[in-house]
Structure 1
Amino acid sequence: MRAEALKGHLDGLLLAVLEAGPAHGYVVIERLRTASQGAFDLPTGTVYPALHRLEGLGLIASTWSDGDGRRRRTYELTTSGRTALAEQRVTWETFAGAVAAVMGGRQSWNPAS
């Protein structure tokens, strides 16, 4: 799936994969790829700017560490990031239910269900 298709959802997806615990950028990309069964195979040029944006918003924090002869930046959710993820999940469930209702041809949809 192309990165353009994820517009508006990438931040939530990155927060969700960081919910599993701190990770450096490559692991974030791998978690996203694995969890989506390969559908979200995103380039570093898409993921790293989004991680930096999320850090600027205070939703994730990063630390530098040395390992394997190189420095790595490790990202983790902040308390604000956990709150934002919970809010994004509610928004996503409402959106996904509405899209399924329209695309699936269901006669009625109740966002409270």
Structure 2
Amino acid sequence: MRTWVTQLRKGLVEFCVLKVLSRGESYGYQIVQSLRVLEELTVTESTVYAVLTRLGKDGCLQVRAAPSPDGPPRRYFSLTALGRRRLTEMNAYWNDLVAAIDLLGDREMGNGK
């Protein structure tokens, strides 16, 4: 795989995890499954759990344990106020970045100022 694609994906996993959790509380395996529908992202369980651990340490996630019908207790993750703020900031930055890249492309094509 091309190095730049790998680096870009790594940077997007945190953003995507926060996006998934913005829909509501979820446990790790559900988050992994939600992200796996994005073929372009190609995430592993270990990557997602590492991001969840980091976001928890940063104060962006609240974690609670609940019984599982078929195994050990599940850890449910939800966004804290700080997590929602981080997602809002990431969303704004993403939108600005996409707009800037689009503008750059327009300029390169002779369509912009």
How would you bin the TM-score normalised by the shorter chain?
A: 0.7 to 0.9
Query: Which of residues 72, 75, 85 in structure 2 aligns to 1:73?
Result: 75
Q: After superposition, what is the alpha-carbon deviation per residue over 1:33-55, rounded to whole angstroms, capped at 9, x for unaligned? A: 23x3x322310121101100000
Greater mean deviation of Cα atoms: 42-51 or 61-70: 61-70
Residue of structure 2 in register with 1:93 after alignment: 95
Using the alignment, how far apart are the partners of 1:45 and 1:21 within structure 2? 21
Query: Which of residues 28, 31, 35 in structure 1 aligns to 2:31?
Result: 28
Structure 2: gaps of 5 or more residues: none
* Percent identity between the two aligned chains: 28
Residue of structure 1 in register with 2:50 after alignment: 49
More helix by share: 2
Q: Residue 65 of structure 1 aligns to a residue in which SS?
A: strand
Using the alignment, how far apart are the partners of 2:24 and 2:77 within structure 1? 9
Residue of structure 1 in register with 2:59 after alignment: 58
Q: How many positions carry a matched residue from both structures? A: 107
Higher Rg of the two aligned structures: 2
Greater mean deviation of Cα atoms: 98-107 or 54-63: 98-107
Q: What TM-score do you get using the length of structure 1 for normalisation?
A: 0.81
